[in-house]
Amino acid sequence: MKSSSGVNLDPEGFPVRLKAIRCFRNLKQVEIAKALGISSTVYSSWETGNHLPRGNNYTRLAQILNVPIELLVEGPKNGESVEDYLQLAVSKKFLSVLDCNSLNVDSKLPEVLKNSSKLNFSLLDGFENFYKEQKMFLYKIEDDSMARSFSNSINKGMTAVIVCEPNIRIYNQKPVLLAVEDQNQAMIREISFDNADLVLTAWNSKYNSQKIDLKKTKVNIFGYVAMVFEKFF
C-alpha cells in the first residue's frame, strides 16, 4: 500500500510509529492537530488506527515531526525501534566519529594476524578486510575500568583491536574507545544513547557511569573494541 506521497505505507505499524515519534518530540496531539489545521479527534483517530491520513498529510506530518517520511510510513529499515532510531539520529548530529584514514594503523597488526591461530580468540568476520582498508589499530588497555568477573572482561595490560566504523549506529551498546572534551585521556566505555545524551558505562563497578550532554560537550569516537588479547604486542 502506498501513501499519497508515493512511499510504501505500513498501515498496521503507522499508528504506533506516529505516537512514538510524537512522544519522542514531546508534542501533544492538540499541537500537531493545530499545525495541520484539523481537529484533535481526527488526529487521535490516526494514532488509534481507526483512520489513516489523507492527501499530503503524511508529508506535512513528517515535516512537523522533523523525520524522514520513510521513517513515518515505513519504519526503520534494520528492525530497530523508532525510539532507538531517533535517539541515534539526534546523537549523530553532535557526536564526532574520527576519520579512520587519519589514524596510523599499527605496524604490529600484520604480525598479530599471522599468529592469530596461536591465540585463543575468534576472528571477527571480515577482519582481514578491515585491516586492508586501514580501519583498525591496536590499543593498550591502561586501566581496569572495563574489567569484570565474567566473560569478555577487558583487563589492564591487554591489547585491544579497535575497529573504525563511520556508521554511528554500530557503536550502540558496544565497548568503544573515545575521548571526552576537557578530559585528559582516551577511555574505553560501553556507550548507549539517551536522546541527545551519551551514556558511558564502565563494566567495573568501582568506576562511575557518566551521562554526557552532546549539545554542550564534544566526544570523539575512535572505534569499537572488536577483540582483546592477554598481552600487549
Q: What is the pLDDT of residue 47?
A: 93
pLDDT digits (tens, 9 = 90+) for 168-224: 777 888 899 888 877 767 889 999 887 778 899 999 999 999 998 887 888 888 888
Same domain, 122 and 212: yes
Q: Does the pTM exceed 0.75?
A: no
pLDDT digits (tens, 9 = 90+) for 52-89: 998 899 999 999 998 888 888 888 877 777 877 777 67
Tell whether 88 is covered by a domain.
Answer: no
Tell whether 86 is covered by a domain.
Answer: no
Same domain, 104 and 204: yes
Question: Residue 70 is part of a domain; what is its CATH number?
Answer: 1.10.260.40
Residues 6+ apart with CB under 8 A from 98: 164, 220, 221, 222
Q: What is the pLDDT of residue 43?
A: 96
Tell whether 130 is covered by a domain.
Answer: yes
Tell whether 3 is covered by a domain.
Answer: no
Question: Residue 189 is part of a domain; what is its CATH number?
Answer: 2.10.109.10
Tell whether 5 is covered by a domain.
Answer: no
Tell whether 81 is covered by a domain.
Answer: no
Distance CA(75)–CA(85), nearest Å, equals: 9
pLDDT digits (tens, 9 = 90+) for 135-160: 777 778 889 999 998 777 899 888 88
Same domain, 63 and 100: no
Tell whether 39 is covered by a domain.
Answer: yes
Domain boundaries, position 19: 14-75
Same domain, 59 and 100: no
Tell whether 1 is covered by a domain.
Answer: no
What proportion of the chain, given as a percentage, has pLDDT over 70?
A: 74
Cell 484539523, located at residue = 38
Q: What is the pLDDT of residue 115?
A: 45
Counting other chains too, the contacts that 74-82 makes at CB distance below 8 Å and 24 or more residues apart are: 74/7, 74/8, 74/9, 74/10, 75/10, 75/13, 75/17, 78/169, 80/169, 81/20, 82/16, 82/17, 82/20, 82/21, 82/24
Last residue of a domain, which of 43, 75, 107? 75
What total of structural domains would you count in the chain? 2
